[in-house]
Amino acid sequence: MARPTMEDVAARAGVSRALVSLVFNNSPKVSEHRRAAVLAAAEELGYQPHVMARALASRTSTVLGVMVSDLRNAFFADVIEGLESAARDAGFELVLNTGSRNPARENAALANLLSFHPAGVVLLSPVLPASAIEAAAATCPVVLVSRGSRLSTVDTVNDDGVAGSTLAVEHLISLGHRRIAHLDGGSATTAAARRKGYRVAMARHGLDPLVVRSEHTDVAGEKAVHHLLATVERREWPTALFAGNDFNAFGAISACEEEGLRVPEDISVVGYDNTSLAALKRVWLTTIDQPRMEMGRLAVQALLERVRDGRTTPARHLLHPSLVVRGTTCPPTA
Amino acid sequence: MARPTMEDVAARAGVSRALVSLVFNNSPKVSEHRRAAVLAAAEELGYQPHVMARALASRTSTVLGVMVSDLRNAFFADVIEGLESAARDAGFELVLNTGSRNPARENAALANLLSFHPAGVVLLSPVLPASAIEAAAATCPVVLVSRGSRLSTVDTVNDDGVAGSTLAVEHLISLGHRRIAHLDGGSATTAAARRKGYRVAMARHGLDPLVVRSEHTDVAGEKAVHHLLATVERREWPTALFAGNDFNAFGAISACEEEGLRVPEDISVVGYDNTSLAALKRVWLTTIDQPRMEMGRLAVQALLERVRDGRTTPARHLLHPSLVVRGTTCPPTA
DNA sequence: CTCCGGCGTTGGAGCGCTCTATTGGTTGGA
DNA sequence: TCCAACCAATAGAGCGCTCCAACGCCGGAG
């Protein structure tokens, strides 16, 4: 278990420890034959530089802390893949932590991350109070994903929920729909922007908005539709539904079918998020896709700009979502 | 950004650096009033011990490396939650990495993890060659999750796929089914055990097995069912399907409905994995649940036993899956 | 033949911490 | 009264590495 150190490599290669260090930081001022000797010795011993020792000595960290509010949410998995690939390219490593959408645990998780003295910290949709985020930002660069902030010390990466909703509504309108209801995401952080985009888009076309209070779950989507159909006169029924997210859409589709409405012939449904669920052949949901990997990459980039280029102005990335047309939308039947 | 060190705290509290160290390792041999003074000073300065420096000095690491072959798979998210909670309880931190189910990238990810000189490494369903795993095990304790191994230097944590299949088959038989087909998982690592359990359980009840080659995806499940129904005489059609996993089951259900078979009235379906998909109200799939969090916890425990208690014999955890009865199974209609 | 500049190389200090050995001060039993 | 025993506290070495200042060496200019 005792792993070889730089000293061991130096001894075996017949050089000084400093030279080994230079080789491993591929300094140009090392003669070719020495470099080869060092590399050979390292190879034979199975030597691998000690990240922590390096961090300590160089006073710079290659660690990027990542706090995920909810690992189970597949959305974050994609963002993390983006983070990971960007981090690897830049020579950084990720240290991951979960907060389970609980402020106290998120705080502990964040403290934990900070104890690594990381180069930067990425918070994925944290439920932390702004004060905690501000405190962290005093320590190292912080970037928020899927959560806004006014703090000038933190960067943010979000999808443009207003634009996403607009895409959904415009798509439905272009198909010929005019009575389009929105199943609202309630208290979810992303819900407000989506609702706003819906309202604005509807207004632009002179259409009356119809917002049904719901949540980002399949059960809520189901309930909302039953409620909607029960309270609205039949001939006033919407011909299209724009759900707050894919799960909600899934529940909404179930409810529609239970009510004897075929999707999409009788009623079109659009989701949001483009989760793996939406791509299942059976569901084949028309939905709004957020560039998740890209969001991860941008988060890392924002961090690096602060670390390497010394940027101090806040970066505000608002990414453009895109429409993924699948099988749950079609023109309304006259 | 310059963070306070132990030296700063010591100076402010009017004690030596060593005393501060003792306080932070809550040694019993520190007088109460000094402890209070140190804690107060640390609080005022916002001091937080530097994990890396500590690791270096103590020659022990509190880092647990985790390599996830595929972060997108929600299965691993649950396992990681288990790892995380167990690690936190034991005072360890997770360093995470992804391999994207690509041997070369997994190798790089593993090397990366090892450069932290972690206390141990958890590999979640790696596709790495055994030799790479063996090499890693020479460096620090290694535990494999959802992947077997003969190496005596590594521990393993798996679910008992044979037992899981048995549960599924016994459930169907107890409902009165006798013609039960299995939609095989093909090359997936877990498929062999599931297939075997199916065969054994069927044989025990004197029933003829019917294995349909498939994959762990919804599209494959759909295809398999269409193929099955096309090649088997109608009166010989199975009354129940045991799918290789939930996705496969989902596709299978779609296909059944397309063929005019109602689920579960005309045909029962059992999945495997109890993914979040299975719990969706619309799907409400009877399936086999793996104790994923528990698997994560056991993985950490296995590591700790090697690190702390010096265990050198391999641990082989085979966890018992359980049956989750939902809405896709019922007695066959005579 | 001496001197200088530059290159490849090295010693050593130090990053923030732990840990062993040791100090100085207090008790309590002989 | 003295010393062993004990306790709280500390000095200092060292973990594996980086980085700066300084070194020896060589070739070419003077």
- Going by pLDDT thresholds of 50, 70 and 90, the confidence category of residue B75 is confident
Q: What is the pLDDT of residues B182-207, one digit of tens each?
A: 999 988 888 999 999 999 999 999 99
From B93, B99, B28, select the one nearest B69 (Cα to Cα): B99
* Terminal alpha carbon distance of chain B: 75
Confidence of residue A281 (pLDDT cuts 50, 70, 90): confident
What value does the mean pLDDT take over residues A289-298?
96
Report the percent of chain A where pLDDT is more than 90.
86
The helix (run of H) or strand (run of E) holding residue B301 is helix B292-308
Q: What are the backbone dihedrals phi and psi of residue A248, each rounded to the nearest 5 degrees, phi first?
A: -60, -45
pLDDT category of residue A146 using cuts at 50, 70 and 90: very high
In Å, how far are A78, A81, A299, B41, B213 from A293, measured between CA atoms? Answer: 6, 6, 10, 43, 34
Contact B276, B72 (CB under 8 A): no
Are A169 and A212 in contact by the 8 Å Cβ rule? The answer is: no
> Would the Cβ of B5 be found within 7 angstroms of any atom in strand C?
yes
Confidence of residue A74 (pLDDT cuts 50, 70, 90): confident
Q: Is B139 on the interface with A (CB under 8 A)?
A: yes
pLDDT band at B222; cut points 50, 70, 90: very high
Q: Which nucleotide is nearest to B19 (CA to C1')?
A: D9
Q: How far apart are CA B148 and CA B161, in angstroms?
A: 12
Model pLDDT for residues B89-132, shown as the tens digit of each residue: 999 999 888 888 889 999 999 999 999 999 999 999 999 999 99
A16 touches strand C (CB under 7 A): yes
Is B95 close to A93, i.e. CB distance below 8 A? yes
**Whole-model pTM above 0.85?**
yes
Best of A71, A248, A308 to disrupt the B interface (most B CBs within 10 Å) is: A71
User: Which B-chain residues 63-102 have CB contacts (< 8 A) with chain A?
Assistant: 66, 71-72, 74, 77-78, 80-81, 84, 88, 93-98, 100
Per-residue burial over B54-88, b = 16 or more CB atoms within 10 Å of its CB, e = otherwise = bbbeeeebbbbbbbbbbbbbbbbbbbbbbbbbbbb
Please give the pLDDT value at position A330.
Answer: 97
Cα of B89 vs its chain's centroid, Å? 19
Instruction: Kindly state the tokens that stand for B176.
Output: 């009165």
Read off the pLDDT band of B1 (50, 70, 90): low
Instruction: Evaluate if residue A195 carries a pLDDT over 80.
Output: yes
pLDDT digits (tens, 9 = 90+) for B264-281: 999 999 999 999 889 988
Q: What local confidence, expressed as pLDDT, does residue A188 receive?
A: 81
Q: How confident is the model at residue A182 (pLDDT cuts 50, 70, 90)?
A: very high
Taking the CB of residue B151, how many other CB atoms lie within 10 A of it? 16
Q: Taking residues A28-55, what's their average pLDDT? A: 93
SS (H, E, C) chain A: CCCCCHHHHHHHHCCCHHHHHHHHCCCCCCCHHHHHHHHHHHHHHCCCCCHHHHHHHHCCCCEEEEEECCCCCHHHHHHHHHHHHHHHHHCCEEEEEECCCCHHHHHHHHHHHHCCCCCEEEEECCCCCHHHHHHHHCCCCEEEECCCCCCCCEEEEEECHHHHHHHHHHHHHHCCCCCEEEECCCCCCCHHHHHHHHHHHHHHCCCCCEEECCCCCHHHHHHHHHHHHHHCCHHHCCCEEEECCHHHHHHHHHHHHHCCCCCCCCCEEECCECCHHHHCCCCCCEEEECCHHHHHHHHHHHHHHHHHCCCCCCCEEEECCEEECCCCCCCCCC
Q: Stretch A88-100: mean pLDDT, rounded?
A: 89
Instruction: Report the distance from CA of residue A54 to the C1' of nucleotide C16 in Å, as an integer.
Output: 12
Is the pLDDT confidence value at B307 over 80? yes
Report chain A's C-alpha Rg in angstroms: 26
The mean pLDDT value of chain A amounts to 94
How many Å from the CA of A16 to C1' of C8? Answer: 12
Task: Give me the mean pLDDT over the A6-27 stretch.
Answer: 93
- In tens, the pLDDT along B244-260 reads 999 999 999 999 999 99
CA B323 to CA B166: how far, in whole Å?
10
Q: What is residue A1's predicted lDDT score, i.e. its pLDDT?
A: 62
Whether B3 contacts chain A with CB within 8 A? yes
Q: Which tokens hold the place of A107? A: 């705080």
Q: Say yes or no to pLDDT of A231 above 80.
A: yes
